[in-house]
Amino acid sequence: MDWDWNFVWEIMPTLIQGVKITILATILGSVLAAIVGLGIALARRSENRIVARGVGWFAEFIRGTPLLVQLYFIFYVLPDIGILLPPLVAGVIGLGLHYGTYTAEVYRAGIDNVPRGQWEAAKACNLSGRHTWTHIILPQAIPPMIPALANYFIAMFKETPLLSAITVLELMNQAKSVANTYYRYIEPMTLVGAFFLVISLCSVVLLRWLEHRYGRIER
Amino acid sequence: MSRLPRTTANDRKFYTQMTGYLGLILQGALVTIELTLMGSVLALIMAFLAGMGRVSRFFILRAIATVYIEFFRGTSIFVQLFWVYFVLPFAGLSLTPLQAGVLALGLNVGAYAAEVVRGAILSVGREQYEACTALNLGRWQGMRHVILPQALLVMLPTFGNNAIELLKATSVVSLISLADLTFQAQVVRSQTGSTLMPFVSVLVIYFALALIISWGVRTLERRMARGLDGVRV
């Protein structure tokens, strides 16, 4: 067990290539999760019972099954019905869908936290359903959820190594290919771990700031 | 194989093959269950050690617990598993895939659950601690007989969620060649070329296991709450 700094510098450019893809996947996945979550949260409040119940069960199912199997499903089953996706796109859809079911709960809590009086006031002002949502409810509901949403995005970031299983060349996959080429596991694996640790320690600071700025979500 | 002419013999062959593959998947389910159970036990032990370490009087215990928790929550389970499986052998500690899986899962989920333990202990009201002092209970006695029984009830629902997270995380061990559900789904996929059957059945099994866990935790919660009427709202 010996640590070789020269080897570290040699593999650094490859790993940084992977870091870029990891970050790209996280950002795209976060955007998708934010949209999917809002969609699920709104659908679960729908007046159509079947839609509300169906979407509720679907979200429950997604949340109860592993992301890895969902990624395999998107990557291997969808091509059979004619939808051929590049690995990164499949990965982003998987991340977005999986974490969308989590962010949906955050949206739900945020929307429930808007006082009843606001709904009644919107009705009194004769606002339509759409205007009530876009001008009254969501602008008040979203800022307090930002810390909780960010928390899930950080969790998502830590799950991106799973994308290596569907051949996305992100950080973990680059590290694995480097390790298999040179048959040295210590440096690449430790660097990947260190990278994730550094980013998530930084994100703790960011999260504290967000909580300070946007208030708490719990109540 | 489904393109063979439809005769009774071919149908029978198809069914025996499919039940054979289903058997493979069920074997995988057993490995997943085993891994979930052993991982949960380790996670529970680590959660109590680290959670109580974080509320300890001694700085050194608090520091160790904090480092453990931040480290394992900060790096992902995937990286930890690969590190345990591929790097530890260089340090002279070779683990079988099952041991590596249990170790990584238990330590990872244990770190998350430790925060739950800490939060639950802190959520018990001040007056309970004062009552312990008034009754001349030692720190450990008070913890054991007064604080923990109440805190346990607060922890339980979140522990259930953690157990489901652990169950879902077990799928990752398929990548270090442990023959769990996900691994068997891949085996069936590569042997038959059929994708829908293995993945849908595996998803359904995972979901059923998750439902069983949440049902079990809810039952346990109801039973434990029975003796504590009036203590908590």
Torsion of the alpha carbons at B131, B47, B64 and B120, rounded to the nearest 10: -30
Task: State how far the Cα of A190 lies from the Cα of A172, in Å rounded to an integer.
Answer: 11
Write the CB contacts of B202 (distance below 8 Å, at least 6 apart in sequence).
A69, B25, B28, B181, B182, B184, B185
CB contact under 8 A, A72 and B86: no
Residue A158 lies in a domain: yes
Assess whether pLDDT exceeds 60 at residue A127.
Answer: yes
Chain A residue numbers touching B174 (CB-CB < 8 A): 68
A81: amino acid identity, one letter: I
pLDDT tens-digit profile of B151-197? 988 899 899 999 999 999 999 999 988 999 999 999 998 888 888 88
Task: State how far the Cα of B23 lies from the Cα of A181, in Å rounded to an integer.
Answer: 37
Residue A122 lies in a domain: yes
CB contact under 8 A, B199 and A193: no
Assess whether pLDDT exceeds 70 at residue A184.
Answer: yes
Q: What is the pLDDT of residue A218?
A: 45
CB contact under 8 A, B79 and A69: no
Q: What is the pLDDT of residue B14?
A: 67
Average pLDDT across chain A, whole number: 90
Beta bridge partners, B232, equal B229
CB–CB of B161/A155 below 8 Å?
A: no
Instruction: Find, among B161, B42, B173, the residue nearest to B98 by Cα.
Output: B173
* Nearest-Cα residue of chain B relative to residue A71: B199
DSSP per-residue codes, chain B: -TTS---HHHHHHHHHHHHHHHHHHHHHHHHHHHHHHHHHHHHHHHHHHHHHHHT-S-HHHHHHHHHHHHHHHHS-HHHHHHIIIIIGGGGT----HHHHHHHHHHHHHHHHHHHHHHHHHHHS-HHHHHHHHHTT--HHHHIIIIIHHHHHHHHHHHHHHHHHHHHHHGGGGGGGT---HHHHHHHHHHHH---HHHHHHHHHHHHHHHHHHHHHHHHHHHHHHGGGBTTB-
Q: What is the pLDDT of residue A124?
A: 93
Assess whether pLDDT exceeds 60 at residue A216.
Answer: no
What are the structure tokens assigned to A36, written together?
């999917």
Distances (CA, A) of B192 to B18, B30, B63, B203: 10, 22, 53, 18
Q: Please report, rounded to a whole number, the percentage of residues in chain B having pLDDT higher than 70.
A: 91
- Which residues of B make CB contacts under 8 Å with A? 70-71, 73-80, 82-83, 86-87, 90-92, 164, 167-172, 174-175, 181-182, 185-186, 189, 195-196, 199-200, 202-203, 206-207, 210-211
Residue B1 lies in a domain: no
Residue B98 lies in a domain: yes
Residue B31 lies in a domain: yes
What are the structure tokens assigned to B75, written together?
């790096």
Q: What is the pLDDT of residue B233?
A: 42
- Into how many domains does chain A fold? 1
Residue B223 belongs to domain with CATH number: 1.10.3720.10
Question: Is the model more confident about B195 or about A102?
Answer: A102
CB contact under 8 A, A80 and B195: yes
Q: What is the pLDDT of residue B75?
A: 85
Residue B11 lies in a domain: no
Residue with tokens 């970050």: A23
Write a three-state SS string for A142-171. HHHHHHHHHHHHHHHHHHHHHHHHHCCCCH
Task: State how far the Cα of B172 lies from the Cα of B178, in Å rounded to an integer.
Answer: 9
What are the structure tokens assigned to A101, written together?
């079911």
Residue A130: CB atoms within 10 A of its CB come to: 8
CB contact under 8 A, B211 and A64: yes
Assess whether pLDDT exceeds 70 at residue A215.
Answer: no
ipTM (interface pTM): 0.84
Assess whether pLDDT exceeds 50 at residue A110.
Answer: yes
A6: amino acid identity, one letter: N
Q: Which residue range is the domain that position A46 belongs to?
A: 5-214
Residue A118 belongs to domain with CATH number: 1.10.3720.10
Residue A85 lies in a domain: yes
Rg, Å, chain A Cα set:
21
Q: Which residue range is the domain that position B194 belongs to?
A: 26-228
Residue B94 lies in a domain: yes
Residue B6 lies in a domain: no
Residue B3 lies in a domain: no
For residue B161, count CB atoms less than 10 angstroms from its CB and return exposed for 0-12, middle for 13-18, buried for 19 or more. middle
pLDDT confidence bin for A24, thresholds 50/70/90: very high
Distances (CA, A) of B32 to A138, B77, B168, B169, B202: 41, 16, 9, 10, 11
Question: Is the model more confident about B3 or about A186?
Answer: A186
- Into how many domains does chain B fold? 1
CB contact under 8 A, B79 and A200: no
Residue A134 lies in a domain: yes
- Which residues of A make CB contacts under 8 Å with B? 1, 61, 64-70, 72-73, 76-77, 80, 158-162, 165, 172, 176, 179, 185-186, 189-190, 192-193, 196-197, 200-201
pLDDT confidence bin for B104, thresholds 50/70/90: very high
* Nearest-Cα residue of chain B relative to residue A57: B207
* Nearest-Cα residue of chain A relative to residue B205: A65
Beta bridge partners, B229, equal B232
Task: State how far the Cα of B89 lies from the Cα of B100, in Å rounded to an integer.
Answer: 11
What are the structure tokens assigned to B46, written together?
């680590």
Residue B133 lies in a domain: yes
Assess whether pLDDT exceeds 80 at residue A135.
Answer: yes
Assess whether pLDDT exceeds 50 at residue A219.
Answer: no
